[in-house]
Structure 1
Amino acid sequence: MAQNKPVTLVITHSLLPEQAEMYEQWLGKIMPVAAEFPGHLGANVIRPAEGQNLWNIIIRFDTLEHLYAWTQSETRNALVKEIAPLLTEGDKTEVHTEAAFWFTPPAAHVRRPKQWKQFLLTLLVIFPSTNLVPSLTGLLLPGLKGTLLLHFINDACVVALVVWLWMPIVTRLFAGWLKKN
């Protein structure tokens, strides 16, 4: 049976020292190629903390079939072979089908952040978004004031901002704090 829910590919690359610039160039090459594949919904790069070499790339696809078309493609395989000499542990990939995994650690031995920290960061992005978006859509769409359609548009905008913009930024900015007990 076909998997019709959005899926996420998490790629973990551990680089050899002093290879970040070459890796960034490679990302600039592979990301646009991935974006051309059917079902591509977006991508984020989580760069390592200062003094570390662990990179995480998060790519979303609309279906599991489209994700596998990308991961099994000759194009991706050739690009991964190109960067392989810079990687200490090869091309590690994980497929996530859950809706949200912002706080999933990049490795099994890393603990998930405390729930109260997850709560605070989520609130940090939800609160301003749920207050600013309705104000803006109210100004832009005054004829829809008080309608279910405007409520839907507001919710869709908030979710899109949180998933594709704010949470990737905030989790990267607060990565050190999230790791502390």
Structure 2
Amino acid sequence: MAHADPITVAIERQIDPTRTIEATSWMQAGVDLAAGFDGFLGSGWVRAGVESELWYMLYRFTDISTLEAWEESPQRNWWLDSGRAFAKEVRTERRTGIEGWFDAPLGLALADPATGPIQQIIPPAPPRWKQAISIWLGFFPMNLLFSWLFGFIPGFETFPLPLRVLISTLVLTPIMAYWVLPWVTRMLRPWLQR
């Protein structure tokens, strides 16, 4: 079975400020519903501030199929319908692929049913230039090693350039995605989050 990276969804909602008690219960109900689905890794919500109408909800699933099972479920549709009178979705963002490698570990804010939301700032993905440097630091040595090793294969240099690039990308992409980039981002995490 192929390994799949977790997917984090961030949703920004505008909440009617006269209905914050209902909204608080409604947000917690959404967390509780999602928790009953296979592949659920965690969820949480925070308010932008005491007076703010903007509330943020995050949830994470193990892969796209478990995420879609939640997002297309009758339970979620019922829950969304029940909040339409006071909650308006402003923006949704999914973090997968490259940006997902740069997520902070345990970077989700959790809502405790007894005390309400934990006011934790969720660190954004590092700037693109830091992401680009991190990817390059993994890609350059891997590409160099690949080129050196495949230089020992007799006649490899006579293959047409598109075929050589196809072979190198087929070999290097899974190595980068599953081993090199997770390791590089772990090693560089303090710099990436600074």
Using structure 1 for the length normalisation, give the TM-score.
0.53
Tell me how many residue pairs correspond in the alignment.
111
Spell out, residue by residue over 1:21-71, the C-alpha distance to the aligned partner (whole angstroms, 9 max, x if none). 101111222211100101000112121213211011110111011111111
Mapped to 2, the partners of 1:4 and 1:52 lie a distance apart of 36
Residues 55 and 101 of structure 1, relative CA distance in 2, 3 Å threshold: farther
The higher radius of gyration belongs to 2
Q: 1:100, CA displacement in angstroms?
A: 3.7
Give the corresponding residue for 1:35: 35
Spell out, residue by residue over 1:120-145, the C-alpha distance to the aligned partner (whole angstroms, 9 max, x if none). xxxxxxxxxxxxxxxxxxxxxxxxxx
Mapped to 1, the partners of 2:27 and 2:95 lie a distance apart of 21
Residues 66 and 91 of structure 1, relative CA distance in 2, 3 Å threshold: farther
Does residue 96 of the first structure (1) align with residue 95 of the second (2)?
A: yes
Task: Give the letter aligned to residue 18 of structure 2.
Answer: E
Structure 1 segments, 4+ long, off by >4 Å, are none
Does residue 69 of the first structure (1) align with residue 19 of the second (2)?
A: no
Residues 63 and 84 of structure 1, relative CA distance in 2, 3 Å threshold: same
Mapped to 1, the partners of 2:69 and 2:84 lie a distance apart of 21
Give the corresponding residue for 2:81: 81
Does residue 22 of the first structure (1) align with residue 26 of the second (2)?
A: no
Structure 1 runs not aligned, ≥5 long: 103-158, 173-181
Task: Give the letter aligned to residue 35 of structure 2.
Answer: A
Mapped to 2, the partners of 1:86 and 1:23 lie a distance apart of 7
Mapped to 2, the partners of 1:82 and 1:165 lie a distance apart of 23
Mapped to 2, the partners of 1:91 and 1:78 lie a distance apart of 19
Report the identity percentage.
Answer: 23
Cα root mean square deviation, aligned: 2.6
Q: 1:92, CA displacement in angstroms?
A: 4.0
Which one has the bigger strand percentage?
A: 2
Q: Secondary structure at the match of 2:84?
A: helix
Using structure 2 for the length normalisation, give the TM-score.
0.50
Give the corresponding residue for 1:108: none
Q: Is the 8 Å Cα contact of residues 44 and 109 (structure 2) preserved in structure 1?
A: no
